[in-house]
Amino acid sequence: MTKASIIGASGYSGLELLRILSRHSHVTLEKLFANTSAGKQVDEVFPVLKTRVSGAFEPYSAEATCTSDVVFVALPSGEAMNIVPELLNRGKKVIDLSGDFRLRDAAQYEQFYKHPHHATTLLSKSVYGLPEWNREQIKTATLLANPGCYPTSAILPLAPLLKEGIIESKGITISSLSGVSGAGRSSSADLSFIEVNESVKAYKVGVHQHTPEMKQLLEAISSREVSFTFVPHLLPITRGIYTSIYAPLAKPVDAETILQTYRSYYAQEPFVRFSSTSIPEIKNVANTNFIDIGFRVDPENNQLIILSAIDNLIKGAAGQAVQNMNIMFGFDETEGLL
């Protein structure tokens, strides 16, 4: 059995990791670290896990991970970089759910995340964990940077179309709406029920930290400079991301051409579902590791409208992290996720 530990196990992503790994046939949960909940029983913090996950949360120490094979780091960005180097030195495989190791450029990280990077030598060594595009690299990774939720919802629909030159690489608009859980479990007046209920608002317009992540991957996949406008919004629901993409067509195409393009890249991907007729809905992907993709061709305006939906806590975080772990350890990619 593979022994897994989780750092930040009492957060929302931590809870989803616990749910998934507790039913994984090849994994034993070893250490569950959560400094703010240290000493509390897991089912005291998360009653839903009663009889499924036993034991207590512990304060983190590198020494306590000594027998772990893989360590999931589910901490806010800026914290993972301080502990990952020692974990790697101890021979652990690390899957980081924060943004600390997604970007190659330390200066860009500082610009968008608003603090300096303290483990810059690892930026070039981390593997970006988007299974549908980086599977071979993931197989041999020791430091895995789990993708952000917004990037997952945008990169997967756009990448095949950019790579095949079906859409222009400039003038793309990405509008995403996220459930409140995407902000994490820390309390905030701005994220309270009264503040978010019956309202929708844009935030971090033009400065969101996921923007360079999307650009970095889309350019690597398409081998072209890619420019887009990205606007995230807060939606008054608990979980889910809904992304609408408006992309200028590079040439006249019909729906069958778009469908065949998605089919050629994703037909064998277990968690990518696409359709030329149905429109994605968050309720159909909630609590799953699927991404649903739909589209409409608008020939009058020479534009392609693409829609996607994911669960931000699963395909956008914990589920994708376990999917990556399955690849890294040679398990069935869907283990624990279906």
| Beta carbons of 286 and 240 less than 8 angstroms apart | yes
- Kindly indicate the confidence band of residue 226, based on its pLDDT and cuts at 50, 70 and 90: very high
- Kindly indicate the confidence band of residue 193, based on its pLDDT and cuts at 50, 70 and 90: confident
Which CATH number applies to 149-312?
A: 3.30.360.10
CATH of 2-147+316-328, one of 3.40.50.300, 3.40.50.1400, 3.40.50.720, 3.40.30.10: 3.40.50.720
Interstrand relation of 70-73 and 2-7 (parallel, antiparallel or unpaired):
parallel
pLDDT over 90 at 190, yes or no: no
Same fold, 2-147+316-328 and 149-312: no
| Beta carbons of 321 and 17 less than 8 angstroms apart | yes
The C-alpha atoms of residue 332 and residue 322 are separated, in whole angstroms, by: 11
pLDDT digits (tens, 9 = 90+) for 35-59: 989 999 999 999 999 999 999 999 9
Please tell me the pTM assigned to this model.
0.96
**Is 66 noted as a catalytic residue in this protein?**
no
- Kindly indicate the confidence band of residue 192, based on its pLDDT and cuts at 50, 70 and 90: confident
Catalytic residue from among 9, 123, 130, 149 = 149
Average pLDDT across the chain, whole number = 96
Q: Where are the domains of the chain?
A: 2-147+316-328, 149-312
The C-alpha atoms of residue 252 and residue 254 are separated, in whole angstroms, by: 7
